[in-house]
Amino acid sequence: MLKRLALAAILCGLLCQPALADDLTPAKRADINRLMETTGSASLGMQIAEAFSTNAIKRIKANQPLVSDSTLNVLHKEIMGFMAEKMSAPGGIMDMIVTIYAKHLTHQDIRDILVFYETPVGKKTIRIMPQVMQETIQESEKLAKSFGPEMEQRIRVALKREGVQLKGDQ
């Protein structure tokens, strides 16, 4: 009797969990791709690649000043081509992102989000989100810098309470 009760409890635990997402069907995959295209997140990977390429070219120029601009352009095109391949290849970055969306959102969630982004406020959200994120990052960095001295002081106090003495603290 106890074994049956334990088995029933285990089965209930496994079967009664809330559904976080559903299977990744071709239709769901297509809607996730449409969502990424609508929000601009589909181009995010190439924006990251562009930033990576720009930084790599700057480092090369700094370390090898005699490398010609035409050679640097060839390198840039090569990096961008490579990243484009990796973005869209089966099992590549876009597939990885689709899988992550599918893991956390049901197909109905995706459809509902798409409906929202087709509304005027949804379109506005897409349009302003990059600026909002950029400003948030900038302001967060400023705020974090202003927290520095207070954070350091609290760490010193906490360590002192624990009997740890830092160099310079006498």
Tell me which H or E stretch contains 116.
helix 107-117
Burial degree of 5 (CB within 10 A; 0-12, 13-18, 19+): exposed
Is 38:115 a contact under the CB 8 Å cutoff?
no
Mean pLDDT of the chain: 84
- Check pLDDT > 90 for residue 29: yes
Digit-coded pLDDT (tens) for 32-67:
999 999 988 878 778 878 888 898 899 998 998 898
> Any idea where the domains of the chain sit in the sequence?
20-137
**Residue 100 confidence class, pLDDT cut points 50, 70, 90:** very high
Between 13 and 99, name the one with better pLDDT.
Answer: 99
pTM, rounded to two decimals: 0.61
Q: What contacts 24+ positions apart, CB below 8 Å, involve 95-103?
A: 97/36, 97/41, 97/45, 98/24, 98/29, 98/32, 98/33, 98/36, 99/24, 101/32, 101/35, 101/36, 102/21, 102/24, 102/28, 102/29, 102/32, 103/20, 103/21
pLDDT computed for residue 169 by the predictor = 66
**Residue 111 confidence class, pLDDT cut points 50, 70, 90:** very high
pLDDT computed for residue 78 by the predictor = 92
**Residue 5 confidence class, pLDDT cut points 50, 70, 90:** very low
pLDDT computed for residue 49 by the predictor = 83
- Check pLDDT > 60 for residue 114: yes
**Residue 142 confidence class, pLDDT cut points 50, 70, 90:** confident
Between 2 and 78, name the one with better pLDDT.
Answer: 78
**Average pLDDT rounded to a whole number, residues 17-24:** 66
d(CA 34, CA 36): 5
